[in-house]
Copies of this chain bind each other. A is one copy, B any other.
Amino acid sequence: MKYKPSYRASLSTEEIQAKLQAAGVQPTLQRIAICKYVLCEADHPTAEQVKEWAEENLEKISQATVYNTLNTLVEAKLLRIFKFPHSEKVIYDNNIHNHYHFLDESSGNLYDIETKDVSINMEIPSKFTVNSMEVVFKGQIKAT
Flag if B137 contacts A130 (CB, 8 Å).
Answer: yes
Asked if A140 is at the interface (CB within 8 A of a chain B CB), the reply is yes
Q: Kindly supply a per-residue 1/0 record for chain A positions 64-81, scoring 1 wherever the CB is within 8 Å of any chain B CB and 0 otherwise.
A: 000000000000000000
How many copies of this chain does the complex contain?
2
Alpha-carbon distance A137/B111, docked complex (angstroms) = 20
Which of A85, A130, A133: most chain B Cβ within 10 A? A133
Chain B residues whose C-beta falls within 8 Å of the C-beta of A1 in the assembled complex: 123-125
A residues contacting B by CB (< 8 A) are 1-3, 82-85, 102, 105, 111, 113, 117-142, 144
Mind listing 25 A-B residue pairs with CB under 8 Å?
Answer: A1-B125, A3-B125, A3-B127, A82-B85, A102-B124, A102-B130, A111-B128, A113-B124, A117-B122, A117-B124, A118-B123, A119-B121, A119-B122, A119-B123, A122-B137, A124-B137, A128-B140, A129-B139, A129-B140, A129-B141, A131-B140, A132-B137, A133-B136, A133-B138, A134-B138
